[in-house]
Amino acid sequence: MAMTDPSSDGRFGDFGGMFVPETLIPACEALEEAFRTAWADISFREELNTLLADYAGRPSPLTQCERLSEELGYQVLLKREDLNHTGSHKINNVLGQALLAKKMGKSRLVAETGAGQHGVATATAAALFGMDCVVYMGEVDIERQALNVFRMRLLGAEVVSATSGSKTLKDAINEAMRDWVATVEDSHYCLGSVMGPHPYPWMVREFHRVIGLEAHEQCQKTLGRNPDVVTACVGGGSNALGIFSGFVDTEAELVGVEPAGGAAVFRGTPGVVHGSLSYLMQDEWGQVLEAESISAGLDYPGIGPEHAHLAHIGRARYEKVSDSEVIDAFQLLSRTEGIIPALEPAHALAWMSRAREELTGKTVLLNLSGRGDKDATQMMDLLG
Amino acid sequence: MIQEPLRIERALRKRIETGGKCLVPYITGGFDGYIEAIYAAAESGADAIEIGIPFSDPVMDGPTIQKANDIVLSKKVSPLDILQEIRGLDIEVPLAVMTYYNIVYRFGLERFANALYESGISGAILPDLPLNEAEHWITAASENGTETVLLAAPTTTDKRLENLCAQSKGFVYAVGLLGITGVRAELARSAVVIAGRCKSITDKPVLVGVGIGTPQQAREVSEVADGCIVGSAIVQKLLDNEGPESVGSFVADIRATLDES
Ligand SMILES: Cc1ncc(COP(=O)(O)O)c(C=O)c1O
């Protein structure tokens, strides 16, 4: 069975691990212990479930798409993570981590963000729990996601510009880790995807498992069966693992979609960065390459270690799409269903649109991981 | 292939046994003038020298070393270029490289260990390769006698610390503060505390690094530790275009201050 717990050394197959400075090892070990205990504790689960329901608005609906299905020539269902509070799936993970951090006695949350969705979610949870919050964001992303920067500041978070390297998500993670190395005693690093050192890839997946659980149940109700294909965009890969977890033990084909400019599975080789061993875009000497994507949230040269494992064993398949295909898909969903998607899930839709022939006669479930408000300015400039 | 065993540890012990304190400067490999800076440091009283091999994502490093890294990387200097240049050095003082694990992993563990050996480099310091993950590398490295220096942090538990000190080779690198490399106005109290904790459980040399940037801080921490590593303050001189001689005179200053006490 795929997608079980990692081994005691934090591995999914050959991938994962805990490659962090010694300073952080005790914190990672304490976090693993705290998460393991909390996750087995019914009262923690209940507290989190209440937050997810009453604060974040779960369960998120499953939408059957009539006009889009007609346009694509096969049946399409959307898991509506865009309707969660703060506008994306990121809130599931953040509420879990913030609750855990509070129980661990931490008073400050540190986060990185690409598109700003994870940063907004973290700033939101910090406001809710009365914690301090600092969010690192690449200089380039601060510019293209100005709305989210404003939202984070409004929520009381400090947004710090990461000016090194490619000035995007990868560099924001470097800065967040450097902050954590210095503040580990009172700060929790609220990592935003299924990457980083053990236990993050496992813990973040578990906090997003709710997407898959709900979707599985909703599919039984709506379709009376499982979809044939389940697809999601992959930056680090958290929304994808969330929805995959509900279908990994079914016959459904699992398809992760990466931007062509940040396709860790296609263009990557095994490497170690940000705490784990996974597929990574790097040069022949191990210098990490800069990803390039229209979407700030997918602009990452790596991929979570469990995705590397799923790709390696062939349980999931990974596709890549170009920026221009994404722009088309962004408009397609807006026009046919009245749903403006975030640029990230528009990647998965772009693949669906390209793969029409292959998908004919099938039922496809797309994880619509976020809504497109944050991308409106950028798209306005592009589309005029 | 095996090098003269424990070259770094023996060099440091020699200093300690004569009542002295150890000084290990850090110099960014591939930076303009770094070879001359290595010679200058060696002639000015360094007991061993750490040579940084730049990595694109150095999470343990602060702005100074990051900047030097970026300059070297922008000139497309490869790890192999640096190792090959070092190979030509005629130097008595033992050398260690400091880099991040992906550079080693990508090179291939055995191939990297061999490359170090062929360049006459005695040790390796890999700040993002904690003991839990280090087994494969330590095995490959010890094949030809490379000393893998392990880092001990203020947050390290007593139990881990014991294991870590037992397995570290060359010396124990005690991280002086919670944080990344960079010069600080004052010596952190944690530097003395971690040095003391290490000293109480190991007879290996214990050197404190991170946050040691002045001769006074070096002397202060060496009241408890066997010595220190000075990085950012030295790299800053290279960044400021003060030239390799300035590295030599700064190392000589620290040496003199350490020798006074
Ligand atoms: C809406 C949305 N989807 C997806 C992602 C990518 O993250 P992941 O691959 O972890 O799901 C982001 C990241 O910012 C996002 O905002």
Residue B171 lies in a domain: no
Sign of CA dihedral A24, A26, A28, A34: negative
pLDDT at B2: 60
What distance in Å separates residue A300's CA from the closest CA in chain B? 13
Give A73's contacts (C-beta < 8 A, 6+ positions apart): A356, A359, A360
Residue B247 lies in a domain: yes
Residue with tokens 């813990």: A203
Nearest to B152 among A22, A181, A280 (CB): A22
Name which of B260, B176, B245 is nearest B215 in CA terms.
Answer: B260
pLDDT at A1: 58
A241 lines ligand 1 (CB under 6 A): no
Residue B45 lies in a domain: yes
What distance in Å separates residue A91's CA from the closest CA in chain B? 27
**Is domain A11-51+90-200 given the CATH code 1.20.120.140 in the classification?**
no
A233 lines ligand 1 (CB under 6 A): yes
Does B31 have pLDDT greater than 80?
yes
Nearest to B130 among A18, A181, A285 (CB): A18
Asked whether the ipTM of the predicted complex exceeds the cut of 0.90, the reply is: yes
**Distance from first CA to last CA of chain B, Å, rounded?**
41
Torsion of CA A68, A69, A75, A78, to 10 degrees: 10
Q: Which residues of B touch A (CB under 8 A)?
A: 55-60, 62, 66, 70, 73, 78-80, 101-107, 127-133, 150-157, 160, 164, 175, 177-180
Does A67 have pLDDT greater than 60?
yes
Respond yes or no on whether the N-terminal peptide bond of residue A26 is cis (omega within 30° of 0): no
Question: Mean of the pLDDT values across residues A154-172?
Answer: 93
Neighbour order of strands in the sheet with A108-113: A158-162, A132-138, A108-113, A187-189
CB contact at 8 A, A279 and A16: no
Q: pLDDT tens-digit profile of A70-79?
A: 999 999 999 9
Half-sphere exposure of B136 (CA within 13 A, CB side): 10
**How many percent of chain A have pLDDT more than 90?**
92
Does B1 have pLDDT greater than 60?
no
DSSP string, A12-27: ETTEEEEE--GGGHHH
Partner-chain contact B59 A178, CB within 8 Å: yes
Q: Which amino acid is at A213?
A: L
Cα nearest neighbour of A175 on chain B? B59
Between CA A44 and CA A37 the distance in angstroms is 9
CB contact at 8 A, A55 and B167: no
Kind and range of the H or E element at A158? Answer: strand A158-162
Respond yes or no on whether the N-terminal peptide bond of residue A59 is cis (omega within 30° of 0): yes
Contacts of B80 in chain A (CB under 8 A): 285
CB contact at 8 A, B164 and B22: no
DSSP string, A75-89: EEEEEEGGGSGGGBT
Q: pLDDT tens-digit profile of B80-130?
A: 999 999 998 999 999 999 999 999 999 999 999 999 999 999 999 999 999
Q: Which amino acid is at A381?
A: D
Domain that holds residue B222: 18-148+215-260
The residue whose C-alpha atom lies closest to atom 10 belonging to ligand 1 is A238
Between CA A374 and CA A116 the distance in angstroms is 8
CB contact at 8 A, A280 and A258: no
Between CA A365 and CA A312 the distance in angstroms is 23
Give the C-alpha distances (Å, rounded to integers) separating B175 from A92, A112, A274, B208. 36, 25, 20, 6
Between CA B124 and CA B228 the distance in angstroms is 16
Give A263's contacts (C-beta < 8 A, 6+ positions apart): A281, A318, A320
Give the C-alpha distances (Å, rounded to integers) separating A6 from A2, A26, A202, A206, A269. 10, 19, 7, 12, 21
Q: What is the largest CA-CA distance in chain B?
A: 45
Confidence of residue A296 (pLDDT cuts 50, 70, 90): confident
pLDDT at A144: 83
Nearest to A271 among B106, B131, B156 (CB): B106
Burial of A284 (0-12, 13-18, 19+ CB in 10 A): exposed
Confidence of residue A297 (pLDDT cuts 50, 70, 90): confident
Residue B49 pairs with which residues in a beta bridge? B95
Between CA A264 and CA A277 the distance in angstroms is 12
Confidence of residue B4 (pLDDT cuts 50, 70, 90): confident
The question of whether A89 is a catalytic residue gets the answer yes
CB contact at 8 A, A153 and A160: no
Q: How many helices (H) and strands (E) does chain B have?
A: 12, 8
Fold of A57-88+208-383: Rossmann fold (3.40.50)
Q: pLDDT tens-digit profile of B200-236?
A: 999 999 999 999 999 999 999 999 999 999 999 999 9
Cα A344 to averaged position of ligand 1 atoms, centre (Å): 6
What residues of B are labeled active site? 50, 61
Between CA A149 and CA A141 the distance in angstroms is 9
DSSP string, A325-384: HHHHHHHHHHHHHS--B-HHHHHHHHHHHHTHHHHTT-EEEEEE-BBSGGGHHHHHHHH-
**Is-same-fold flag (A11-51+90-200; A57-88+208-383)?**
yes
Assign residue B51 the CATH number of its domain: 3.20.20.70
A195 lines ligand 1 (CB under 6 A): no
Tokens of A9: 């050394």
DSSP string, B68-133: HHHHHHHTT--HHHHHHHHHT---SS-EEEE--HHHHHHH-HHHHHHHHHHTT--EEE-TT--GGG
Between CA B170 and CA B185 the distance in angstroms is 29
Contacts of B164 in chain A (CB under 8 A): 22
For chain A, how big is the Rg over CA atoms in Å? 19
Name which of B5, B7, B2 is nearest B205 in CA terms.
Answer: B7
Question: Mean of the pLDDT values across residues A156-167?
Answer: 92
Partner-chain contact A178 B62, CB within 8 Å: yes
Q: Would the pTM count as exceeding 0.90? A: yes
How many domains is chain B partitioned into structurally?
A: 1
CB contact at 8 A, A259 and A299: yes
Question: Mean of the pLDDT values across residues B151-160?
Answer: 97
Question: Which residue out of A193, A204, A211, A366 has the highest number of ligand 1 atoms within 8 Å of its CB and is therefore the one to mutate?
Answer: A193
Q: pLDDT tens-digit profile of B94-103?
A: 999 999 999 9
A193 lines ligand 1 (CB under 6 A): yes
Tokens of B56: 């694109």
Name which of A240, A244, A263, A265 is nearest A253 in CA terms.
Answer: A244
Partner-chain contact B152 A271, CB within 8 Å: no
Alpha helices in chain A (DSSP H): 25-39, 42-54, 66-72, 90-103, 117-129, 139-144, 146-154, 169-183, 200-222, 238-244, 264-267, 305-313, 323-337, 343-354, 356-359, 376-383
Contact A201/B at CB under 8 A: no
Q: pLDDT tens-digit profile of A233-268?
A: 999 999 999 999 999 999 999 999 999 998 888 889
- Which residue pairs, CB below 8 angstroms and at least 24 apart, start in A349-355? A350/A257, A350/A321, A350/A322, A350/A325, A350/A326, A351/A231, A351/A255, A351/A257, A351/A319, A351/A321, A351/A325, A352/A72, A352/A76, A352/A231, A353/A72, A353/A325, A353/A328, A353/A329, A354/A321, A354/A325, A355/A319
